[in-house]
């Protein structure tokens, strides 16, 4: 039985920075460590963005959720400060960005963000239930002014000026249930919550052993990932969308874009990318100061 999709999310004033209206507590398993993790997402009225705290230390360790703090992009996005890290932040960051949360405090009791059901849906539903409130500060945007392309072999990301946030994503896998999938969406609070947030991470059965040998995917299961063998989906409930795979890649991309710490106005064309190319692209974009401006 497929999980029902959420109702439309109606946020507050989009012209001002917003934080969540009340605190959220969630717990679950870390995808890569297999450890149980607890998180609390709390209002942050100062407007300084998304901040993480590792609270399972004698003293809390503060880690800003921005591009400068990215320490690893191997199979997940990991941020860190002074030797302390939090991994697999992309799904939560995607939900916060996709639903227009500009500022929040995230306390993390563990080494990574819980994988939940492998998507951003539970994070999105929790944010929807908590609601948003304005914090009395102007909301600013990073507006793309010039086209930029970054390539790595057959993978590429291009951005063009656009009065909105649009993503066209293409993936290609040599698997009969995936092959080539592409999807183009204008992403706002409603489209993110209904069309992107439910899409789960996915993997291939023949890769599980090598991942676990490398110390990864220790918490992975059919409860938190779509798993495929050579010809079929092993999850008894099947897929949530026929193109759930490309939708999840958009989810990850939105999570990585969020590390710019500003909403972005631009049209992104992404082909066969992953966390590593996403972050390389963002660094090159920020370095090219004439390609964008910050405006209100």
Question: If you search the block for the tokens 């958009």, which residue do you land on?
Answer: 250
3-state SS track over 223-274: CCCEEECCCCECCCCCCCCCCHHHHHHHHHHHHHHHHHCCCEEEEEEEECCC
User: What is the CATH architecture of 16-138?
Assistant: 2-Layer Sandwich (3.30)
Establish whether 175 is a catalytic residue: no
Whole-number Å distance between alpha carbons of 4 and 288:
43
CATH fold of 141-295 reads: lpxc deacetylase, domain 1 (3.30.1700)
pTM, two decimals, is 0.94
pLDDT of residue 6: 47
Question: If you search the block for the tokens 């409860």, which residue do you land on?
Answer: 223
Show me where the domains of the chain are located. 16-138, 141-295
Residuewise pLDDT in 10s, the chain (296 residues): 344 444 444 445 678 999 999 999 999 999 999 999 999 999 999 999 999 999 999 999 999 999 999 999 999 999 999 999 999 999 999 999 999 999 999 999 999 999 999 999 999 999 999 999 999 999 999 999 999 999 999 999 999 999 999 999 999 999 999 999 999 999 999 999 999 999 999 999 988 878 888 888 899 999 999 999 999 999 999 999 999 999 999 999 999 999 999 999 999 999 999 999 999 999 999 999 999 999 98
**Active-site residue identified among 32, 91, 248, 275:** 275
Whole-number Å distance between alpha carbons of 212 and 221:
12
Phi and psi, residue 207, nearest 5° = -100, -10
pLDDT of residue 296: 84
pLDDT of residue 13: 62
């Amino acid at each position: 039985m497929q999980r029902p999709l959420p109702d439309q999310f109606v946020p507050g004033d989009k012209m001002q920075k917003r934080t969540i209206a009340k605190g959220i507590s969630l717990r679950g398993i870390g995808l890569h460590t297999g450890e149980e993790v607890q998180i609390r997402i709390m209002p942050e009225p100062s407007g300084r963005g998304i901040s993480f705290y590792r609270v399972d230390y004698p003293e809390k360790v503060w880690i800003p959720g921005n591009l400068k703090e990215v320490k690893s992009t191997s199979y997940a996005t990991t941020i860190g400060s002074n030797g302390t890290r939090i991994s697999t932040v992309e799904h939560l960051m995607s939900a916060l960005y996709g639903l227009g949360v500009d500022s929040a405090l995230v306390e993390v009791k563990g080494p990574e963000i819980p994988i939940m059901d492998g998507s951003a849906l539970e994070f999105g539903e929790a944010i929807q239930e908590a609601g948003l409130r304005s914090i009395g500060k102007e909301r600013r945007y990073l507006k793309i002014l010039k086209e930029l392309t970054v390539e790595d072999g057959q993978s590429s990301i291009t951005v063009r000026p656009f009065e909105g946030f649009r993503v066209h994503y293409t993936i290609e896998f040599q698997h009969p249930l995936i092959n080539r999938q592409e999807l183009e969406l204008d992403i706002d609070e409603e489209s993110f919550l209904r069309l992107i947030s439910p899409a789960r991470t996915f993997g291939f059965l023949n890769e599980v052993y090598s991942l676990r040998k490398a110390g990864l995917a220790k918490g992975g299961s059919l409860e938190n990932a779509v798993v495929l063998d050579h010809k079929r989906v092993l999850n008894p409930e099947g897929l949530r969308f026929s193109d759930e795979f490309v939708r999840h890649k958009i989810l990850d991309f939105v999570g990585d874009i969020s590390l710019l710490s500003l909403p972005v106005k631009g049209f992104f064309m992404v082909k066969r990318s992953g966390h590593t190319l996403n972050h390389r692209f963002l660094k090159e974009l920020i370095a090219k100061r004439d390609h964008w401006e910050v405006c209100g």
